[in-house]
Chain A
Amino acid sequence: MCDLNEDNIKTLGKLCRIEIADEEVPGLVRDLKRVLEYVSQLGQADVSGLSPYSHMEEHGIGSLRNDEVGPCLSREAFLANAPDQVGGMIRVPIVIKQ
C-alpha cells in the first residue's frame, strides 16, 4: 500500500509547503515508511458495517454555529503579530506581476 520513496517525498513536501533538503531525504523516507508499514495493519481490522463518521455528531464535531456577525479582533490586535505590515495592512511580496 505504501509507495512513498526517495523520488516522490519532495512532491509530498510541496503539497504541504515543506522543503526537504537532499540530505534529509533518506532519514525521512526511512522514518515515514516505518510508520506507514506499521499503520498498514489497520487493513486487517474487521470494520465491515461500520460507518467512519458515525460518532462525530454525538461529540459536536461538525456542528455549526449560526452564521452571524459577532465581536472579533480589532485591526490593531490582529496586526500586532504580523511579521510585516504597511498602512494598517499585512505586507507581502508582489503577487500579481505586470
Chain B
Amino acid sequence: MRDNNAKAKVKVSKNTCGCSIDDLIRENLDNDKNNGKQKIKGEKEESSIKTNSDRLCAVQESDLEVYVDPDIEKVSYDFYMRKLTDGFPIVPPTRERLLKFLKYTDRQPYDVIATLAPRRGNATVEKIAINSVMAGCIPAFMPVVQHAVQAVSQEKFNLPGVNATTHPVAISIILNGPISREIAVNSGIGCLEPGNIANATIGRALRLCLMNIAGAVPGIGDHATLGSPAKYSFCFGEAENESPWKPLHVERGFKSDVSTVTVIAAEAPQNVNDHRSRNAEDLLDTIINTAAVAGCNNSHVPGEFLLVMGPEHAKTVADDGWGKEDLKRYIHENAIVPVELADRGGRKLDEQWITDDEVKITRSPKDVVIVVAGGPGRHSMIGHGFGTSSESVTLPITFKDGTPVQSVQDFKSKK
C-alpha cells in the first residue's frame, strides 16, 4: 500500500523537483563514512536506503517504470479486427522495433517512397518499416522491402489494376545480387515453400504494405474472386551460381554485383514435372503445354509470364546448346492457345493477337521472364501473368543518392 506520509519521512533539497533519491543516497553515504564503514565491492547500496523509506520517490506516482512488450495475442486480435493483418499473428510494431529498422535506410522516416493505389496512401519509410515489423522481418530486410514498394509503384506495373482485380494475381519478388545472399534469401531447395525467414516475411511485408498503405484489403480495395495463397508471400532469390545463363538482373542491364529487386505480377506457380526428357525440345514442349492454357490471362491479353526453371531442367536445355534468348524465342513461338479457347476472358481478345485462329500467350520473346531457382529434382514452375497491362519492374537497391548498396550493413556507416 502507498504510504501517504512517505514524503514527510525523507529529506528534500530545495533545488530538486521533489525526488529524494539523491538525498537518500548522499545521506547514507555520509552515514557510512562517519561510521567508518568501508564499501565492499559488489555490496548493494539499496540495503541502507531502505532504512529511511521503502519509496525512492514520494512525489512521483511510481519509483520505477518497467516497459513491457504488448501482448502478441491481444495486439494481433485487435489489428485483425481492424483489418490490418493478413490473418496471421503479427509482431507488435513498437517504436523500439521501428528504430531498429530505420537503421537500415538512409532516408528520413517521413520520406515518401511512393503513393500506392487504390487508396493513394503515402508509403513513407516509417509506414513501410512498421508493416515490415508486423510481418516478422528482421531489420536488415528493410532495404529490400523499401525497394519492392518503390518497384510496384512504377506506372508500368499498373498497381491500381493489380490490387483491385478479380483475377488471383499475386506479386512475386525476385532477388538478385549480393544482398540476396547476405540476408540469406532462399534460392535453392524449397525456395517457394515455407521455411526461410526472408522468403516468408519480405513477401508478407509487401502484402501488408499493400493492405495498409494502398488499401488492398480483400473486399474493399482488393476484389479477387477467390484470391491466391501466393498473396501471403511470393519471394525468392535466383540461384545465380546454378544458372547456365545470365541471371535476370544482368539480362536487364545491371552489373552482376549490383543487388536488385524485381517485382512481377504473377499467379501462384504451377508445376512442370518432366523427369524423362533428355533434350531441350522435349522438355520445352512440356513447359509450353503447361503454359498454354485457356483460363489464364495470357490467353486473351498476352503478356509476361514467369518461368522458374529448376537447375536440372536448365542444365538439360543449356547442354543442348540453347541460350536464354533461344529458349525465350522458342517458348514465345510455340506457347499458343486456339482462338476459340483464348477469347473467353474479361477483356475482348484484340484481333492483333490472332494469327491463323491461334493466339500466342506472349507478345514477344521478352515476355518470357526466366529465372533459375530450386534444388535437385526435375521440376520447374510457371506463374502466368496479369496480361498486357502490367510489366515487371527491376530496381537496383541503392542509397538515396543512387549509389548501389553493396551490403545492408553499409547503411549503418551512413548514419
A binds B: no
